[in-house]
Amino acid sequence: MLVDGARDTGDFEVDLAKMYAIVLDGPRTSWLSRLRFWLFDYELHCVACYRYGRWASRLRTRNRLLGVLALGVYWFWNRRNIRVHHTDIFRRADIGPGLLLMHRSGIIVGPAVVGSNCVLHQNVTIGQRIADGDLGVPRIGDDVWIGPGAVITGAITVGDGCTISAGTVLSKDVPPHSLVGGNPGRVIAKDYDNSNMINYVIADSGGSAGGVRAS
């Protein structure tokens, strides 16, 4: 079991490997391509800020002074993300490895549990449903694809492998491998395979699968 900041470091390594595979078509690219990616890929910056905030929080439990200083850096970094990218991923949200942001603008993640290998698009909101007095948090499984403008709130469970369509407002449980859409959100299809969407793979004209570069 990983302890202290080791989990956050390991999770970010998985995040990075997934970004390399999708954005750079794999890790074996030139150092210049990787440098440009680190400098100018703002989705990477937002994920890195979240993972850094998690690490800083754990550091504070071991060394209060260094932890407070690290959290200060995180605060300024996160404020910049909010101001520039309109994205705020709460450092106390528990998000598994392999997180991928697509078109990072407007992503808000509050208190929540999110599994591994999930994809979030622009203007997604995940968090508590305080207006109804529901202080529970969403629990989102592994391999979940969440489309633009989706809202997921309250003490609900989203099963592994679900696909949440653009504009969905979801406030109730959905079983694994469901295609969900609408306002209020409802199951449109069961046993829906989203593996190509999660890994950004499309079929070419010959019917075979091929990778697609993220923008």
For CA atoms 137, 156, 2, 89, the dihedral sign is: negative
Domain shared by 70 and 128, yes or no: no
Number of domains in the chain: 2
Domain of residue 155, CATH code? 2.160.10.10
From CA 213, how far away is CA 188, in angstroms rounded? 28
Mean pLDDT value across residues 132-138: 77
Domain shared by 122 and 173, yes or no: yes
Domain range enclosing 167: 110-192
55, 87, 119: which is the final residue of a domain? 87
Query: What single string gives the DSSP state of each residue in 16-40?
Result: HHHHHHHHSSSS-S-HHHHHHHHHH
Domain shared by 83 and 122, yes or no: no
- Mind listing the pLDDT tens digit for each residue in 68-109? 999 999 999 999 999 999 999 999 999 999 999 998 799 999
From CA 116, how far away is CA 160, in angstroms rounded? 9
List the beta strands (DSSP E) in 107-208: 108-109, 113-114, 119-121, 125-127, 139-140, 145-146, 151-153, 157-158, 163-164, 169-170, 179-181, 186-189, 201-203
From CA 160, how far away is CA 137, in angstroms rounded? 17
- Mind listing the pLDDT tens digit for each residue in 64-76? 999 999 999 999 9
- Mind listing the pLDDT tens digit for each residue in 23-59? 887 767 788 888 999 999 999 999 999 999 999 999 9
**Residue 105 belongs to a domain:** no
Tokens 């800020």 correspond to 49
